[in-house]
Amino acid sequence: MDDLARIRVRIRMLARPIDEPHRVASQLELLFDLTFVVAVAAVTAQFAHEIAEGHAVAGIIPFLQVFFSIWWAWMNFTWFASSFATDDVGYRVLAMVQMGGVLVLAAGVPMAAEHADYTFVTVGYVIMRLGLVVLWLRAALEDPARRRTGLRYATGISVVTVGWLFHTFVAPMSVELPLFVLLAALELSVPLWAERAEPTTWHPHHIAERYGLFTIILLGESVLAASRGVTAALDASAISSPFVIIAVSGLVVLFALWWLYFLVEAGKGLKGRRDRSYLWGYGHFGVFAALAALGAGLEVAVEQSGHAVVAGALTVGYAVAIPVGVFLVLTWLVHARVLAQAVIHPVLLSACALAVLALPLATPWIGVHGVVAAIAVVCVLAVAVTIALNNARTSARVPGPVLADGR
């Protein structure tokens, strides 16, 4: 027992095998994700407020900026954990530090959206990055084979973090957005530069599972956001047929999008095409942001069925349609990079996306509830046709029974 306790306190941080059998998300990773539930809920609720107040266009940039920081911090820890997780005391404590940073970031979301004050968002982000830098330094110290990689990660992250501090506390407002774009591009470049020294040993099926879990979190956040809209409508004592139609149709849309995403076994594709992991991983920013934005759109759609909001019906319709259209297109694009054969037909999904984006134009005649219901129908058709095409293709590859005479 003493030996087991000693091992848990300190385990040398070496690269984990790429083909490690039965690799699944750890309990620590699941707990880590829960803190991001809080952050995503905060940014989604704030974006919903901006849409309802008629400031949807103005709210898009702050929403994407804050969501980028949430997504990037989650993604960096996820890929590190896939390669080096030891689950000893030091590793757990540094994971906890990053979780604390997420909560600080979440607390700063309203200030960022309403007053363009990114103080707490930046502080929370810096806390997360410091925890990750220490992890990379530890990996560099304890895994000589990937020492240069670890040092490159630690250096790159540290330099860009200083840039974020300059962006928030020193740079004038006139250069805030261009500087943000530059720093975001530098963040995305750090893994490309660091992995040139010696690639990390991330596990393809583990990574696919982690991304799938985050997708489920975002779908769950959309359900939560829609429930906030239901609460607002019920507070107005306005249970109507449009209310019921939007609530039911919104659930159908979310279920259909879940079904489409998980039709693909990304782990197999990543295993055979590790060189395409960057496009797959980075492309998920759009997929994840679309799901978060959809939650905000559904919240406002449900809410406006019970009482008036400042935003017009067309705006509310597009607040649902645009995220769905983006999700459909990007889901195919990211998975197509790692699959040998398309599971989701690109023409079908493109046609569905165009139909979804055109539906809000019919708002004056069918209302927001009609638009959301029609979007649900399109999503269900996308799932049904995709399944039918895949089943037909599978049946064509399976030989028929052989009769006794060989025919």
* For the chain, domain boundaries: 24-194, 206-395
d(CA 264, CA 334): 11
Instruction: Tell me if 362 sits within 8 A of 311, measured CB to CB.
Output: no
Longest dimension (CA), the chain: 84
Instruction: Tell me if 8 sits within 8 A of 67, measured CB to CB.
Output: no
Written as one string, the DSSP assignment of 11-76 is: ----PPPTT-TT----HHHHHHHHHHHHHHHHHHHHHHHHHHTT-HHHHHHHHHHHHHHHHHHHHH
CA-nearest of 327, 324, 300 to 314 is 300
Q: Which residues touch 184 (CB under 8 Å, ≥6 apart)? A: 68, 72
pTM comes to: 0.92
For the ranges 96-100, 274-278, 366-370, the lowest mean pLDDT is seen at 274-278
Instruction: Tell me if 134 sits within 8 A of 94, measured CB to CB.
Output: yes
Q: Measure the CA angle with vertex 250, ends 31 and 257; round to 5°.
A: 60
- Give per-residue pLDDT as tens, 108-160: 988 887 777 889 999 999 999 999 999 999 999 999 999 999 999 999 999 99
* Residue 224 scores a pLDDT above 70: yes
- The per-residue b/e assignment along 170-201, b for 16 or more CB within 10 angstroms, e otherwise, is eeeeeebeebbeebbeebeebbeebbeebbbb
d(CA 212, CA 206): 10
Place of tokens 């769905």: 324
Mean pLDDT of 327-356: 86
What percent of the chain is modeled with pLDDT above 70? 93
Instruction: Tell me if 18 sits within 8 A of 201, measured CB to CB.
Output: yes
For the ranges 161-175, 223-237, 257-271, the lowest mean pLDDT is seen at 223-237
Which of the 8 DSSP states describes residue 335?
Answer: H
Place of tokens 């982690």: 210
The separation between CA 125 and the C-alpha centre of its own chain, rounded to angstroms, equals 17
* Residue 404 scores a pLDDT above 50: no
Q: How far is CA 168 from CA 19, 76, 140, 180, in A?
A: 42, 21, 30, 10
Q: Which residues touch 144 (CB under 8 Å, ≥6 apart)? A: none
Alpha carbons within 13 angstroms on the beta-carbon side of residue 333 total: 17
d(CA 201, CA 22): 16
The separation between CA 118 and the C-alpha centre of its own chain, rounded to angstroms, equals 21
The pair of structure tokens assigned to 85 is 């997780």
Instruction: Tell me if 289 sits within 8 A of 220, measured CB to CB.
Output: no
- Give per-residue pLDDT as tens, 252-304: 999 999 999 998 888 888 988 888 899 999 999 999 999 999 999 999 998 88
Instruction: Tell me if 163 sits within 8 A of 186, measured CB to CB.
Output: yes
Instruction: Tell me if 356 sits within 8 A of 290, measured CB to CB.
Output: no
More confident residue, 124 or 222: 124
